[in-house]
A = this chain, B = another copy of it.
Amino acid sequence: MRPTVHDIAAEAGVSLATVDRVLNRRPGVKAATRMRVEAAIAAIGFVRDMAAANLAKGRVYPFTFILPSGDNSFMRGLERHVREAMARPSADRVAISLVIVPPFDGAAVARALDAAIAAEPAGIAVVAVDAPDVVEAALRVQASGIPLVTLVSDLGPSCRDHFAGIDNHAAGRTAGSLMRRFVGQERATIAVLAGSMLVRDHRDRLDGFRAALSGTCRLLPVLEGQDDPAATERLIADLLARYPDVAGIYSLGAGNRGLIAALQRHNRPRPRAVIAHELTPHTRAALEGDLIDAVLNQDAGHEVRSAIRVLKAKADGIPAVEAQERIRIDIFLKDNLPFADDADGLSLRPSGAASGAN
């Protein structure tokens, strides 16, 4: 059997309380005693049973998650994963309160952050909007000593403790590499569709994409569809009409519904390469229906779980291995699609109240 606190108490000739004190680095132990205990711990090869420790502590971590509302499929998938974490009966001991704010609304995010501060949670995770008042609110969070993690969309590194999301510049580069290979020929005409250049992740992706393609292709001016289906569809339809030779489209935002609709209505052969972001029911269907060639994805489930792990670590004062929490950039083709009921926000079942089971 694994050694326990009793074994080390016996080995060091002290009581459980003392062992516990040095184990948890609490004051009130003579240096000499502490060393004896530490020696015993090392000698006996003790490792603390965290499950038992947490049980005894009865500690719960109250966290606040702030997410945008709206019909963005990716965000709704993200919400589903947060709700899943809330409902998870297992290990965790995490109590999440979920706050939904209007999308792209810096003021609303800032207000939500201030409200969260008042509730004194053990940590906050937020899908940030890169606006001045959000930055200020983030600084207030930090000032109040509450760990802050940005989710999916970042603020500056100085405004938060950690970013749980992908390297969007690398994602753009990846898209660029793929695009270059997929279109094949030199100096092909490529179009880029973004949501808004006001959000940081979109800017980063564009930069990376440009870098990967520099000198090889001809990039048309960026189309900004504000992630609005109707507007995006018009933009794309117009693009296809005006540039019949466009060889590739890179959709780096969340305007995929409009893009797909336009491609569907288009009666001539579609551009050779269409690459989009985020695996949602829509992009999945488009991939399967050969309207899109590749989808870059960030695993929303991983991001949520990673955010929770990091917040827990910060709350416990443990440094949290940054490198270990890096989120991958997934590439999906029609051929390596994961199954729809995987943990990806892909299932179409509602994420509402009746999530008690799972």
Contacts and interface: CB of A to CB of B under 8 A. Distances in A.
Contact of A326 (B49, B176, B338): B338
Contacts of A52: 51, 55
Contacts of A176: 335
Given A55-B51, A182-B181, A338-B328, A174 B323 contact: no
A336 B329 contact: yes
Interface in A177-225: 177-178, 181-182, 184-185, 208, 212
B333 A174 contact: yes
A347 to B, nearest CB: 11
A329 B331 CA distance: 9
Contact of A323 (B48, B181, B332, B342): B342
A91 interface: yes
Q: Please tell me how many copies of the chain the complex holds.
A: 2
A324 B339 CA distance: 9
A196 to B, nearest CB: 24
Given A50-B91, A51-B55, A170 B328 contact: no
A213 to B, nearest CB: 12
Given A341-B323, A342-B324, A343-B324, A170 B49 contact: no
A89 interface: yes
Interface in A326-354: 326, 328-336, 338-339, 341-343
A51 B91 contact: yes
